[in-house]
């Protein structure tokens, strides 16, 4: 049985301060058990004997990879295909209207950002849903940016391959959208996967490397890990990178709070940008 290290008040305080400073994540007292379970594995792998020595190591000798491993260990990645299905139904209607409005334009461009994409089910659902409902998009300049702070889940997402249990609960029409592999796994078709670019991104970084504008942004079940000031900051920045009239989709237990000044609520956890100013293309 692997031993878990004792977590003192001082240790927990240092861990909370570090993950907040690095990733904006606010750890509550309820996360103590998670911290012990996740970080004990890292401490053992480094052959250290306590959380105190681990934190000293990070501060004095830790590399960028060590810092990333610390963040990876403390992030939770729960997701599935077509999670919160009403968002994708709304997206299809919205993009269909955009396509009609842009039909006469020489550059038929569509950009969507999945911020906090985890293991990739969200951006792949976006691509599968839109191409299935709006096949004309195959001839558009259509791209999806998918980002997450956790490098481990980004690597998994980029493989576009999942256990067949991911199909549980999906309709026959949706299960047919995937390729079935000989080993029992499923794979997102290459033509669909090629639309998605996966990048590691810390939402606390300034500035963000992309300029936008994005026609839609999915940032779901990400802000629940932030405190109110950080949420307001992130949602405010998302509003600035959305195209005028673009949509922001957030998680079912989230709200924009002080970051909602640039948006209007149009549906369940669906917000539209109020901005009318033009933005530079990516």
Q: Looking at the predicted structure, is the pLDDT value of residue 280 above 50?
A: no
| pLDDT, average across residues 61-72 | 89
70 with 89, same domain: the answer is: no
| Annotation says 38 is catalytic | yes
Instruction: Judge whether 258 lies within some domain.
Output: yes
**Judgement on whether residues 103 and 210 belong to the same structural domain of the protein:** yes
Are residues 35 and 162 both part of a single domain? Answer: no
Both 51 and 96 in one domain: the answer is no
- 102 and 34 in a single domain? The answer is no
Domain boundary (49, 74, 99) is at 74
Report the C-alpha gap between 108 and 98 in whole angstroms: 10
Within this chain, do residues 105 and 209 fall inside the same structural domain, yes or no?
yes
pLDDT value of residue 202: 94
Q: Is the pLDDT of residue 282 over 70?
A: no
Domain boundary among 55, 74, 93: 74
**Total domains, the chain:** 2
Domain that holds residue 111: 85-273
* CATH assignment of the domain containing 17: 1.10.155.10
- What digits encode the pLDDT tens for the residues 131-170? 999 999 999 999 999 999 999 999 999 999 999 999 999 9
- 107 and 65 inside one domain: no
Tens digits of residue pLDDT in 246-256? 999 999 888 89
Residue 280, domain member (yes or no): no
List, edge to edge, every strand of the sheet that includes 186-187: 161-162, 186-187, 179-180
User: Residue 209's domain is classified under what CATH number?
Assistant: 3.40.50.150
Which pLDDT score is estimated for 135?
96
Judge if 131 and 246 occupy the same domain. yes
Are residues 158 and 267 located together in one domain of the fold? yes
pLDDT digits (tens, 9 = 90+) for 192-241: 999 999 999 999 998 999 988 999 999 999 998 899 999 999 999 999 99
Across the chain, where does the E strand assignment appear? Answer: 109-115, 141-148, 161-162, 179-180, 186-187, 196-200, 214-219, 242-250, 263-267, 270-273
Residue pLDDT, tens place only, 102-139: 988 887 999 999 999 999 999 999 999 999 999 999 99
Catalytic residue, candidates 16, 111, 148, 220: 148
Q: 219: which DSSP letter?
A: E
Answering whether pTM is above 0.85, one says: yes
């Amino acid at each position: 049985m692997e031993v878990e290290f004792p977590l003192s008040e001082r240790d927990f305080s240092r861990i909370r301060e570090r993950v907040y400073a690095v990733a904006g994540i606010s750890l509550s007292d309820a996360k103590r058990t998670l911290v012990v379970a996740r970080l004990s594995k890292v401490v053992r792998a480094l052959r250290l004997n306590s959380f105190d020595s681990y934190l000293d190591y990070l501060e004095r000798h830790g590399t960028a990879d060590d810092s990333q491993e610390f963040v990876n260990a403390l992030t939770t990645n729960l997701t599935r295909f077509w999670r919160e299905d009403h968002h994708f139904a709304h997206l299809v209607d919205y993009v269909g209207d955009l396509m009609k409005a842009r039909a006469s334009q020489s550059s038929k461009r569509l950009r969507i950002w999945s911020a906090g994409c985890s293991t990739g089910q969200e951006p792949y659902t976006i691509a599968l849903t839109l191409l299935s409902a709006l096949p004309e998009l195959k001839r558009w300049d259509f791209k999806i940016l998918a980002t997450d702070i956790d490098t481990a889940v980004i690597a998994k997402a980029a493989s576009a391959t999942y256990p067949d249990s991911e199909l549980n609960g999906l309709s026959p029409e949706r299960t047919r959208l995937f390729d079935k592999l000989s080993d029992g796994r499923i794979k997102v078709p290459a033509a669909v996967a090629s639309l998605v670019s996966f990048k590691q991104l810390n939402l606390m970084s300034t500035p963000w490397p992309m300029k936008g504008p994005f026609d839609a942004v999915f940032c779901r079940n990400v802000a629940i890990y932030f405190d109110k000031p950080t949420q307001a900051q992130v949602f405010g920045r998302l509003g600035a990178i959305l195209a005028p009239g673009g949509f922001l989709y957030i998680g079912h237990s989230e709200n924009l709070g002080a970051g909602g000044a640039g948006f209007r609520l149009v549906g369940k956890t669906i917000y539209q940008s109020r901005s009318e100013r033009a933005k530079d293309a990516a």
